[in-house]
Structure 1
């Protein structure tokens, strides 16, 4: 190899004599960097084994704890789980977790990592640099609360995902939807009255539309173009607005949005890429129109009725509902815009059967916060969501919704899944090494994961000290337990 390098240097000197010294320096310097990089990669490969010893396990699927197990992580995956000590030849990081609980990293299934402040600030006061820096800080805060995966259902987070995957910033795995797709005067059309229409007036006045937060699309050609644009940019699933909402000013909360043929066009375009569509919906007619068109993930759906819930279960559709949306705290929140309160009161009244229907029919319900706002605001909301969901459905159902059930939803992306190596949301051999070690049993005490009864009036968030270890992709993000490097 050295002879080839020297031969190449001689050829360069003869051919490009005026610039030869500069080019020789570049070649030698680049070769040195490549050599260091290769050595670094080899070194990381040798030190990529983690052995967790004497730990109790919640596997994400069963309401039970397996006591005193040993778990070997190699590279990105769980290689072996045993009730006996695991011998390992080579360098290994040992973590003695006696008395602690190992569990899957948590999964948020309805996140908005690009909604880094109030809508007013985003629209009028932030440029892309402000938003990008805050996204990175937001992502890290989710990871340090034990969330190793976030399905982002609206906003420009593809660049954040790429930066996290490349190791540039810390954060969870992201399943991005890209710009949410809305009809004119739909839940995603957040223009002011004075903003012109991008298709009718051929002008994009609105700041967030220019930044890729949303597309306004009407008719089959436009909804196909918006869907395909998101897929081109790296969306793993598509998110549409199929009903009215509280956070948008110009669409009634009970309005049906997108015609059936438009929704079918979006669903079929997503299927062509082997993935699925999620939809913002509240009421049965909205939900049924979406499911009948082939949609597979209903977002919110608090006013669902019994017949529709039966259809959801029969068709295997996932339900992503935030329980904070039914709480008194939401109604009294000072962060609500003036036009939102009436809609909140109406939807909470119409959602009186939601909890009973979920308990009766047991749909595939995933953990969701729909958290909006700055880093501390989102942290408070997700910790309250853990508490409120556990209060209503119990600790196990809450943890299962944030682990194995959510992991199943992530796999619905099929060939668009950016993380194909193993399962997420479970502790089993072959699964991704996205794991938490907790000081105690979270099935008995959900507060070990930061669950907090307070939300809007909660104190400034502090680190969750009972989450002792966070491992993502086989790499230790946080370790407050004694560990050491050893060779066996």
Structure 2
């Protein structure tokens, strides 16, 4: 692959900057981009090879980030992934990556799916799309949230058991016992994972596990943490229920995915004390259409806990990351922006605080990947000198009204990622 080169220089003039590190906007200023990074804020005249954009007093902000996506699954239905040709998921992921970028999301953390190769072609500029932090296959115990084998089939841990389609396409990996968990973690790291995801409790869409069940023993979870730490990175855990959260924290898990069924503020205080992230989603029931009554009931139970979890986390000072977790319903992929606006409209975050969570806040979580961080050469999620040049020019003021980001086609007038202009309606 031959990387495409960004413009030599971009000067964005006459803008108010939300750098994501402060709650307010700067006075009118300019931002210069050289190559792939922010070179200067304020001052300077355009050079001979400079692309000049007059911001017209609009707000310039960092590109949005999403801490929980499934690029391999968001553009394809369950039937498409499980019964269709293998290539369908990859091509749909490529198409969805461009749509995600055009919604303003310039960096995402992928929490299950074979996307390491997709990251490479996007980073090379061969196709448009966000930066990706891949987890590769999510790791699950037998009968856990990642076990989608048929109930009559022998467990794959036995020599007579077959791997499910979800395992065959690299979306999930079933592993039981310390040795298998060690091997499964190392397998994902070999395949390009920047962090690891394990299933530590029951799930909504999975067939065998009620939300209250615990998944993986403390020793198995510790094994995953040890193997990831040997590669300089961390483990995140899918888990809703309170005891599962506490077990994951005790094992050294650094990021709790979901956490909507925490039993009370004490669990969020524990997470805050241990520096563990709550990577959660502002779900409402209609986000997922589940025809099976048992799955629908689990979805309702989970969504009922969203507001309490957000409230307890804010009171405890728990580090909050924003994600969407949309998958297997391609027609709903566009909810990504609406879910962001809910942080303010439904769950009472001040707009500027919500913006910081979805930019520099998420970026701080991403940096836990340490030596496995594919973008560690510069800062993400902020507009500061030498940061990656991922910026959005917005019609309206999202620090006062987050809903302007709910209509990216209309209100994102310029989208720049990695120093490349992907959208410019200003001419």
| TM-score class normalised by the smaller sequence | over 0.9
1:359 aligns with 2:319: no
Matched residues in 2 for 1:205 and 1:292: separation? 31
Q: Distance in 2 between matches of 1:347 and 1:147?
A: 26
Match of 1:270 in 2: 228
Identify which of 117, 122, 126 aligns with 2:76.
117
Partner in structure 2 of residue 245 of structure 1:
203
Match of 1:346 in 2: 301
RMSD: 1.9
Contact 1:303 1:352 in 2 (8 A): no
Q: Is the 8 A contact 1:50 1:94 kept in 2?
A: yes
Which residue number corresponds to residue 410 of structure 1?
366
Higher deviation after alignment, 390-399 or 238-247: 390-399
Shifted more, 405-414 versus 383-392: the winner is 383-392
Q: Summarize the Cα distance change of 1:131–1:357 in structure 2 as closer, same or farther, 3 Å threshold.
A: same
Contact 2:394 2:412 in 1 (8 A): yes
Aligned pairs for 1:210-249 (under 5 A) are 210-249=168-207
Q: In structure 2, what is the equivalent of residue 165 of structure 1?
A: 123
Identify the match of residue 72 of structure 1 among 32, 37, 56. Answer: 32
**Paired residue for 2:278?**
319
**What SS is found at the alignment partner of 1:188?**
coil
Query: Is contact 1:387-1:446 (8 Å) kept?
Result: yes
Does residue 50 of structure 1 match 2:16?
Answer: no
> CA shift at 1:439, angstroms?
1.2
Instruction: Tell me the equivalent position of 1:433.
Output: 389
Map of 2:327 onto structure 1: 372
User: What whole-Å deviation, never above 9, does each CA across 1:67-125 have from its counterpart, x for those lacking one?
Assistant: 2111111111111112xx3135441111111211100000000000111333233212x
Structure 1: unaligned runs, 5 residues or longer? 1-36, 452-462, 483-488
Task: Determine which of 341, 349, 368 is the counterpart of 1:387.
Answer: 341
Q: Could you tell me whether the CA contact under 8 Å between 1:287 and 1:301 is conserved in 2?
A: yes
The answer (yes or no) to whether the contact 2:269–2:313 under 8 Å persists in 1 is no
Q: What is the CA deviation profile of residues 314-354 of structure 1, one whole-angstrom value per residue up to 9, with x for unaligned ones?
A: 12211111111xx2424xx5345333122123334455632
Point out 4+ residue stretches in structure 1 off by more than 6 angstroms.
none
What TM-score do the two structures reach when normalised by structure 1? 0.83
In the aligned structure 2, how far is the partner of 1:369 from the partner of 1:430? 29
TM-score by length of 2: 0.94
Contact in 2 for aligned 1:247/1:337 (Cα 8 Å): no
Aligned to 2:414: 469
**Which SS does the other structure have where 2:143 is aligned?**
coil
Q: Compare 362-371 and 137-146 and name the one that shifted more.
A: 362-371
Q: CA deviation at 1:157?
A: 1.0
Secondary structure (helix, strand or coil) at the match of 1:341 reads helix
8 A contact 2:285–2:303 mirrored in 1: no
Q: What is aligned with 1:329?
A: 286
Residue 444 (structure 1) shift = 1.8
Q: Distance in 2 between matches of 1:106 and 1:349?
A: 27
CA drift at 1:191 = 1.3
Larger Rg: 1
- Aligned residue in 2 for 1:137: 95
What SS does the corresponding residue of 1:222 show, helix, strand or coil?
A: helix
**What does residue 16 of structure 1 align with?**
none
Aligned length: 422
Superimposed CA distance per residue, residues 415-468 of structure 1 (whole angstroms, 9 cap, x where no aligned partner): 1011122111011111100000011211122222126xxxxxxxxxxx612101
1:423 matched to 2:379: yes
